Amino acid sequence: MNVATTRQRNAAGSADPAAATRRTGLALVVPALAVVVAVNVLPAFFGFYSSLRAIFFFGDDGFVGLRNYAQLFADPSTWQAIRRSLVFTFGSLALAVPLAMLAAIGIRKLGAWGRVLLTVLLIPWAMSPIVVALLWKWILLPSPGGLLASILAVFGIPPINLMSNPDYAMPTVIAVGVWRTFAFAAIILTAGLGQIPADLYRAASVDGLTALERFRRITMPLIAPSLLIVLSVLTISYFNEVQIIIGLTSGGPIHSTTTLGYLLFEVGFVELNQGRGNAIAIVMFLINLLLIVGYVRLLGGGRK
Amino acid sequence: MTEFKMDLTRRRVLACAAGFGLAAPFINKAALGQTPSGQIRVWTFMSASGTSPRERVLRAIIDEFQAKHPGTTVVVESQPFQELETRYVAAIAQRRAPDLIWLRDTFLSLVVDRNALADLNEALTPEFRRDALPDMFDVFAQKSVFAGKRISLPLWPTPAQIIFYRKDALREVGLTAPPLDWARFTDVAANLTKGPRFGFGLPTSDNSVSAFINIMSGFGPQIFDPATGRMDLTGAQALETAEVVRQLVARKAVSNTLLNAMGDDIQDQFAAGRFAMAQAFSARFQQYQQIASGYDGRELAVSAWPSFGGRPPAVLLGPYWTVGLSPQTQNKVTAVAFLEALYSREASLRWAKDAGLVPDRRSVLSDPFFSQPAAEVANEYQKLLAGQGAFVFPQRIPDITRIFTVLNTALQKLIGTDAPSRTILTEAKATLGW
C-alpha cells in the first residue's frame, strides 16, 4: 500500500523533494534570467544581426554579410585602436592592481582608520566617469585657471600640456582611469585578505619565512580567487572605458587616445554608421571574452 | 408605451449621429483648425527653465503662447544638442517623436531622407505663408526646401561660427578690428600673443564644426563642388588654408598645446582672457559678454573671417538651427500654432532685444530698437549676412557626419606635427574616401 502511494505521488511529481527543490530554484531564477535575456542576450543577438547589415542613421540598406568586418579589419586605424585599447587596459591594470593591493594591506593593518581610508578612496568610484573626466580636465588645464598649472606656477614651473601632447595623453588618461577605479579593486582584495587564516602567517613565521616569502607563498595563492575577480572585472571595465576618454581627450590628440571603445562611440554615435559600430562592438566582446578565458586558465585553471 | 419611447430614442440617436457625421468635417475645421489646445512636446537643446538669454526668451514665448491659447501646454524636453537629430529619427521609428524638433541645417538632408519631417507648405497657415515666409532671409529659408517641400524654418539667422575679439586687445596694436585678409590677420594675431595670452584661439576637436572649413571659406562658396557638395582637400585652396594654419602656429598666434580643445573650451578660455581673438558661436555673444572674466565684457566684438586674394570677408552661415514639424504629430493645430509663434514679429524682436540675435523677420529691423546702441551686435551680424562673402553649406554634403572629425584630425596634425601639409590632407581625403 505504501509503495503504491509513493509511486502515485512520484507520478504526480508533488512529493519528490529533489524535484520540488528544482522547481523552487527554477521559479526563483526565471525572473532574473528573463531580465538577463531581455537586456543582455537579445540586444547582443540584435547587435550581431545589425553588424551584418548596412545601417546608417537608422536607415537599413540591407544584408551585407561580413562586409562591415572586412572594412573594419582592412582599416589600419582599427588595429591602432585595438593596440591602444590593450595599452590602456594593461597599463591601467599594471598601475591599479599593485595600488589596490597596497591599499588593501594598508586598510587591514590600520583597523578602524583603514575603514576611513577605504571610504575616502571610494569617493572617486562613486562618481560618474564623465564627472571625473571634467574634474580632471579642469585640474590639468595647462593655462591660468587650471589647478595643476596654478600649483606649478607657485614654484615657477610652466604649465605641462598633459592632455594635448600625443606622448602624454594616454598615460594621463590611464592615471585618471586608475584614480577612479582602484578603490573597487581594493575592496575585493581587502575581503580576500580577510579570508586568509592568521594561523598560516604565524606558522610561517615560526618556520622562519620572511615577509616577502609569506606574501609569495601564502597571500598570493590564497588571494588568487579575489585577484581573478579583480582582474576580470577591471579588464572588462578598462577595455570598454570610453566616458573618461570622451570627457578628457575626445580620442585625441591626433587619435593618440582613440581606443576601440572610443572608435565604437565615434563610428556608431558620431558618424552614425550603426552597422559598422555594431561590428566593432562584436569585436570588443570577442576580445573581452578571450582575455577573461585567459585569466581563468592562468589563475583558476589548476583548481579542482 | 415603453416600446414607443425606446423607438423614438433610437431614432433620435440615429438622427443625431447622422447629423454629427455630416457636420464633422466642418466642425473639425471650425473648431480644431482655429483653436489650439492640449499639449505639445518640443525637443531642443535649450531648457525652458534655463537662464541663458536664449532660454529666457524661449520661456517668455512659451508663456505668452499658453496665455494666448488657454488650455495649451508646451512641454520642452531638452536634449544634448549633438544628438537631437539622431534621437529624433530614432523616436520617429518608435512612434514617440515630439511634435516639434530643433535640428541643424547640416542634418536636414539626412532627416528628410528618413521621411521624418512634415511638409510645412501644407501645414502652415495661409497668413503665415503670405506674411512671414517672404519676410525671412531667403538664403536660409530656401535651404529648407527639398524637392518643393519646406521641411523646416530657419531660426536665428546669424553667421554661426564667427570671430569674437577683444577691442581692448586690438587697441594694443593700434587697431579697432581684426584685418580681413589672412596675411595681415596672421601678423596681427602674432603680435597679440603676449605672456599667457594667445592671439587666436581655434577649436580643434569638435564633431560639428571645423576651423579648417571656416578658414577655407575665405575662398568663397566655390570651395564646395556644386555637383557633389565635396571640397577639394588636396587642391591649391586647401593647401593654402593649411599654410595659414602652419603660419599661425609658427608665429605663435595659435597655441600648439590646444590639440584637444572643443568649441566650448576655446570660448570658456576666451572668456577667461586666454585669447585676444577666437572662433566662437555667434548666438552665444550675450552669454559671453556676461561671463567675461579676463576682460571687460563690453570690449567683446565680432568680426567676419578673413579672406584670400582680395575676396570679400568670409561668412559661412552654418551650421545653424532650424525647427521642423513631426509628420506623426497628434496635435498638429497646436504644434503649427506654436511653430508660427516662434517666428512672429514679436518673437523675432524679442530674440533680437533680449538675446542679441538677428531677427528671423527682416521687417523687424525697422523697429526703433535697431537704431540704439544695444542693437550694435545684431546690426553687425545683419551687415555680415548682407555681405558678398555670405554663403551656406550645400544642401547635401556627403559624409556630413564624418567631415568635421576628419578635418579636425587634419587640423591637429597641421598644428601639432611637422608632417607635410599635402600628406596630411591626402590622408584626410583618403579617410573620407573622396
SS3 category, A303: coil
A143 to chain B, any CB pair closer than 8 A? The answer is: yes
Do residue B86 and residue A143 have CB atoms under 8 angstroms apart?
Answer: no
Do residue A164 and residue B110 have CB atoms under 8 angstroms apart?
Answer: no
Task: Give the global pTM.
Answer: 0.85
**Most confident region among A98-102, A163-167, B290-294, B316-320 by mean pLDDT:** A98-102
What span, in angstroms and rounded, lies between the C-alpha atoms of B215 and B421? 15
How many CB atoms lie under 10 A from the CB of residue A137? 18
Do residue B257 and residue A164 have CB atoms under 8 angstroms apart?
Answer: yes
What span, in angstroms and rounded, lies between the C-alpha atoms of B375 and B372? 6
The pLDDT > 70 percentage for chain B reads 92
A176-200 pLDDT tens trace: 999 999 999 999 999 999 999 989 9
Name the residue among B52, B259, B286, B255 with its Cα closest to residue B164.
Answer: B286
**Side-chain half-sphere CA neighbours of B245 within 13 A:** 33
Band of residue A297 on the pLDDT scale cut at 50, 70, 90:
confident
Best mutation site among B194, B209, B401 for testing chain A: the one with the most A CBs within 10 Å? B401
What span, in angstroms and rounded, lies between the C-alpha atoms of B407 and B234? 12
Determine the pLDDT at residue B3: 41
Residue of A nearest to B91 (CA): A58
Determine the pLDDT at residue A4: 52
Residue B180 has pLDDT above 80, yes or no: yes
What span, in angstroms and rounded, lies between the C-alpha atoms of B151 and B132? 15
A65 to chain B, any CB pair closer than 8 A? The answer is: no
Band of residue B26 on the pLDDT scale cut at 50, 70, 90:
very low
Task: Report domain extents, chain B.
Answer: 38-154+320-386, 161-317+396-432
The distance of A110 to chain B (nearest Cα, Å) reads 42
Do residue A271 and residue B416 have CB atoms under 8 angstroms apart?
Answer: no
Determine the pLDDT at residue B33: 52
The DSSP code for A12 is H
Residue type, B44: T
Residue B2 has pLDDT above 90, yes or no: no
In this prediction, residues B123-129 reach a mean pLDDT of 96
B91-101 pLDDT tens trace: 999 999 999 99
SS3 category, B407: helix
Residue A160 φ then ψ, to 5°: -105, 130
Residue B267 has pLDDT above 80, yes or no: yes
Residue B16 has pLDDT above 80, yes or no: no
Band of residue B29 on the pLDDT scale cut at 50, 70, 90:
very low
Band of residue B139 on the pLDDT scale cut at 50, 70, 90:
confident
Tell me which H or E stretch contains B218: none
Do residue A252 and residue B196 have CB atoms under 8 angstroms apart?
Answer: no
Do residue A252 and residue B260 have CB atoms under 8 angstroms apart?
Answer: yes
Best mutation site among B84, B109, B260, B264 for testing chain A: the one with the most A CBs within 10 Å? B260
> Which residues on A lie below 8 Å from B209 (Cβ)?
none
Residue A217 φ then ψ, to 5°: -95, -25
Determine the pLDDT at residue B27: 43
The DSSP code for B224 is B
Residue A55 has pLDDT above 50, yes or no: yes
> Which residues on B lie below 8 Å from A252 (Cβ)?
204-205, 259-260, 409, 412
> Which residues on B lie below 8 Å from A145 (Cβ)?
269, 272
Band of residue B6 on the pLDDT scale cut at 50, 70, 90:
very low
ipTM value for the complex = 0.82
Q: Are the beta carbons of B54 and B290 closer than 8 angstroms?
A: no
The distance of A272 to chain B (nearest Cα, Å) reads 7
The pLDDT > 90 percentage for chain A reads 70
Do residue B260 and residue A164 have CB atoms under 8 angstroms apart?
Answer: yes
The distance of A274 to chain B (nearest Cα, Å) reads 11
Determine the pLDDT at residue B14: 52
Q: Who's near B95: CB < 8 A, 6+ residues apart? A: B328
A57 to chain B, any CB pair closer than 8 A? The answer is: yes
Of A144, A159, A272, the CB nearest to B86: A272
Determine the pLDDT at residue B278: 96
Query: Do strands B275-281 and B198-201 pair parallel, antiparallel, or not at all (unpaired)?
Result: parallel
Residue B10 has pLDDT above 60, yes or no: no
Determine the pLDDT at residue A21: 92
Residue B23 has pLDDT above 70, yes or no: no
The distance of B110 to chain A (nearest Cα, Å) reads 8
Q: Are the beta carbons of A27 and A45 closer than 8 angstroms?
A: no
How many CB atoms lie under 10 A from the CB of residue A204? 16
The distance of B241 to chain A (nearest Cα, Å) reads 19
> Which residues on A lie below 8 Å from B93 (Cβ)?
58
Best mutation site among A46, A75, A162, A250 for testing chain B: the one with the most B CBs within 10 Å? A250
B377-429 pLDDT tens trace: 888 888 888 888 888 899 999 999 999 999 999 999 999 999 999 999 999 99
Task: Give A 167-186 residues with CB within 8 A of chain B.
Answer: 169
Determine the pLDDT at residue B269: 87
Do residue B207 and residue A270 have CB atoms under 8 angstroms apart?
Answer: yes
Interface of B with A (CB under 8 A): 82-83, 86, 89-90, 93, 110, 113-114, 196, 204-205, 207, 257-262, 269, 272-274, 401-402, 405, 409, 412-413, 416-417
Residue type, B334: T
Best mutation site among A58, A140, A150, A167 for testing chain B: the one with the most B CBs within 10 Å? A58
Residue B25 has pLDDT above 50, yes or no: no
In this prediction, residues A137-150 reach a mean pLDDT of 85
In this prediction, residues B14-38 reach a mean pLDDT of 55
* CA distances to A18, B87, B109 from A269, in Å: 51, 10, 18
Do residue A252 and residue B259 have CB atoms under 8 angstroms apart?
Answer: yes
Task: Report domain extents, chain A.
Answer: 76-300
Residue B240 has pLDDT above 90, yes or no: yes
User: Domain A76-300, what architecture?
Assistant: Orthogonal Bundle (1.10)
The distance of B262 to chain A (nearest Cα, Å) reads 9
Domain B161-317+396-432 in the same topology as domain B38-154+320-386 = yes
A271 to chain B, any CB pair closer than 8 A? The answer is: yes
In this prediction, residues B179-206 reach a mean pLDDT of 95
Residue B28 has pLDDT above 90, yes or no: no
Name the residue among A146, A167, A169 with its Cα closest to residue A252.
Answer: A169
Cell of A278: 555594431
Average pLDDT, whole number, for chain A?
90
Cell of A177: 582611469
Peptide bond connecting B319 to the previous residue in cis, omega within 30 degrees of 0: yes
Say how far residue A292 (Cα) sits from the centre of its chain: 11
Q: Are the beta carbons of B300 and B376 closer than 8 angstroms?
A: no
Please indicate whether residue B377 or residue B25 has the higher confidence score (pLDDT): B377
Residue B145 φ then ψ, to 5°: -100, 115
The pLDDT > 90 percentage for chain B reads 71
Least confident range from B13-17, B229-233, B264-268, B284-288: namely: B13-17
* CA distances to A221, B329, B410 from B36, in Å: 74, 13, 51
Q: Are the beta carbons of B318 and B154 closer than 8 angstroms?
A: no
Q: Who's near A176: CB < 8 A, 6+ residues apart? A: A132, A133, A136, A244, A248
Name the residue among B213, B204, B207, B264 with its Cα closest to residue B83.
Answer: B207
Determine the pLDDT at residue B356: 85
Band of residue B4 on the pLDDT scale cut at 50, 70, 90:
very low
What span, in angstroms and rounded, lies between the C-alpha atoms of B124 and B138? 17
Query: Do strands B315-316 and B72-78 pair parallel, antiparallel, or not at all (unpaired)?
Result: unpaired
> Which residues on B lie below 8 Å from A59 (Cβ)?
113-114
A270 to chain B, any CB pair closer than 8 A? The answer is: yes
The distance of B274 to chain A (nearest Cα, Å) reads 8
SS3 category, A55: strand
Q: Where are the beta strands (DSSP E) in B32-150?
A: 38-44, 72-78, 100-104, 145-146, 149-150
Of A144, A166, A252, the CB nearest to B205: A252
The distance of B113 to chain A (nearest Cα, Å) reads 9
Q: Are the beta carbons of A140 and B236 closer than 8 angstroms?
A: no
Superfamily of structural domain B161-317+396-432: Periplasmic binding protein-like II (3.40.190.10)
* CA distances to A148, B74, B103, B371, B429 from B44, in Å: 36, 12, 8, 32, 33
Burial of B261 (0-12, 13-18, 19+ CB in 10 A): buried
The DSSP code for A59 is E
User: How many residues are given for chain A?
Assistant: 304
* CA distances to B202, B204, B259, B270 from B263, in Å: 8, 8, 12, 10
Average pLDDT, whole number, for chain B?
90
A34-44 pLDDT tens trace: 999 999 999 99
Residue B19 has pLDDT above 60, yes or no: no
Determine the pLDDT at residue B417: 94
A203-234 pLDDT tens trace: 998 999 998 999 899 999 999 999 989 999 99
Topology of domain B38-154+320-386 in CATH is D-Maltodextrin-Binding Protein; domain 2 (3.40.190)
